[in-house]
Amino acid sequence: MYNFEFVKPSSIAEAVKALAEEGAQPLSGGQTLIPTLKQRLNQPDMLVSLTGIAEMKGVKAEGGALVIGGATPHAVVAAEAAAQYPALAALAGNIGDPAVRNRGTIGGSLANNDPSACYPSAALASGATIVTDRREIAADDYFQGMFATALEEGEIITAVRLPIPQKAAYVKFNQPASRFALTGVFVAKYADGVRVAITGASNDGVFRWTEAEEALSANFAPEALEGLSLSGDNMISDLHGTGAYRAHLCKVLTKRAVAAA
């Protein structure tokens, strides 16, 4: 890996200031970024660690929503969101493996927006608000394709606000080598309707399956999805599965998520 300067600020303000430098990049848990650096696919001049910023850590309930600090590791979300938002806690508790969950963070996962990562589906299905150092972004505007987000250069996710649903479940078809989702579906039922977000399927990254949302909003039961289907045309095709296979999984996993919610 190429060398870089390492800084570890203790406040959001200091981090933002450090990130204004040419060639500076944020580092959260590093569970994706460090392997990427080792492959020399990225060459920052400076890494600004966000793991020492106390105001970016923790899980708290606030007016029917969970507010999770951007630098909160998955293991902490798994433990501290369990009472109020069990589907989210279960998702966090199945990311990667225990050692990865102790370092990887929710903000890092959302900023990276890997097309097969778990958290983007939870944020999109929950209609979450992505809180950054300079603004708030609705999840519907935030995810902009594979590894693409609304974040600007040097902008950091300080917190994520997820409205707590009446019922929810995430079902992940595990890719056992990477432990990412081969395909994963998050279903969340709110008073004003159902939201369904799918990861690990589309070439455009996480997306909402709006036809399923309409059907489930009318009748929240697995049978409501009979007759619906997704096209495999713009789905990820790789050695683990074809686009058509993933399209099929989307429906199967949505049904399972509804049954489990």
Partner 1 sequence: MAKVSMTVNGKSVSGEVEGRTLLSTFLREGLGMTGTHVGCDTSQCGACVVHIDGKAVKSCTTFAQDVAGAEVRTIEGMANADGSLSTIQQAFQDHHGLQCGFCTPGMVMSAAALLADNPKPTEAEVRHHLEGNICRCTGYHNIVKAVLAASGQDVGQIAAE
Closest approach, Cβ 172 to partner 1, in A, equals 13
Asked if 112 is part of the footprint of partner 1 (rule: CB under 8 A), the reply reads: no
With left for phi above 0 and alpha for psi between -120 and 50, is residue 32 left, alpha or beta?
alpha
Q: Cβ 222 to partner 1, closest distance in Å?
A: 26
Residue count of the chain, please give it.
261
22 binding partner 1? (CB under 8 A):
no
- Residue 174 pairs in a beta bridge with 181
Residue with smaller CB distance to partner 1, 15 or 47: 47
Q: Which of 86, 98, 147, 237 binds partner 1 (CB under 8 A)?
A: 98
CB of residue 60 to partner 1, shortest distance in Å: 21
Q: Judged by CB under 8 A, how many residues of this single chain contact partner 1? A: 28
97 is an interface residue for partner 1 by CB under 8 A: yes
Q: In whole angstroms, give the CA distance from residue 66 to residue 113.
A: 20
Q: Are 261 and 87 spatial neighbours (Cβ–Cβ below 8 Å)?
A: yes
- Taking the C-alpha atoms of 56, 60, 65 and 69 in order, what is their torsion angle to the nearest 10 degrees? 10
Backbone φ, ψ for residue 6 (5° rounding): -115, 125
Q: Beta partners for 202?
A: 235
Q: Does position 60 bind partner 1 by CB under 8 A?
A: no
Q: Give me the residues that bind partner 1 (CB under 8 A), please.
A: 1-6, 8, 27, 30-31, 34-35, 37-38, 46-47, 49, 51, 75, 96-100, 102-103, 177, 179
